[in-house]
Amino acid sequence: MLIVWHSQSGASASLARAAWKGAVEQGEPVCLSRAADVGATEIAASAGLLLVCAENSGRLAGGAKDLLDRVFYPLIERRCTLPYALLVSAGNDGRGAVEEARRIFRGIPFTEAVEPRIIRGVPDNEALAEAGELGAAFAAGLSMGIF
């Protein structure tokens, strides 16, 4: 399982770390990587992708969009179809980023394993716990082969 994050303020980064902690507690190997350091090879080598990023100006944050732009055709050429999960950090909305990500993932195509989560505001302990639960649920589902 691969958790990829892009973050400017640290909000998405903290959510990604919390998701990673939840996932590793399931006993499965989990990589945590910055979007800028990831390409199609790393994604194709994983069992599933959890993308953690912000909504900026009603869309996916640029660093996350850059990743998906870079890997879109290479993943299609590899016929790589993976389950994915999405965790969006937002100020007061987040729905535009979810919609954009869903549209891109449908095109590869990746399968939405769990309902995308939006965390609004600066992540507090409750939000970090929610991110941890998402990471754990995704990792558990992957290890059981239910996605």
Site for ligand FMN (CB under 6 A): which residue of 50, 89, 101, 117? 89
d(CA 107, CA 93): 24
Of 27, 29, 91, 107, the one binding ligand FMN by CB under 6 A? 91
Nearer to ligand FMN, 2 or 97 (CB): 97
Single-letter amino acid, residue 23: A
The Cα-based distances of 4 to 61, 92 in angstroms read: 13, 22
CB of residue 58 vs ligand FMN: minimum separation in angstroms?
4
Beta-carbon count within 10 A of 10 CB: 12
Question: 62-77 vs 95-107: helix axis angle to the nearest 10?
Answer: 10
Return d(Cα 23, Cα 129) in angstroms, integer: 12
Residues near ligand FMN (CB under 6 A), total: 19
Site map (CB under 6 A) of ligand FMN, residues 32-71, x = contact: ----------------------xxxxx--x----------
| Sites of contact with ligand FMN (CB under 6 A) | 7-13, 54-58, 61, 89-94
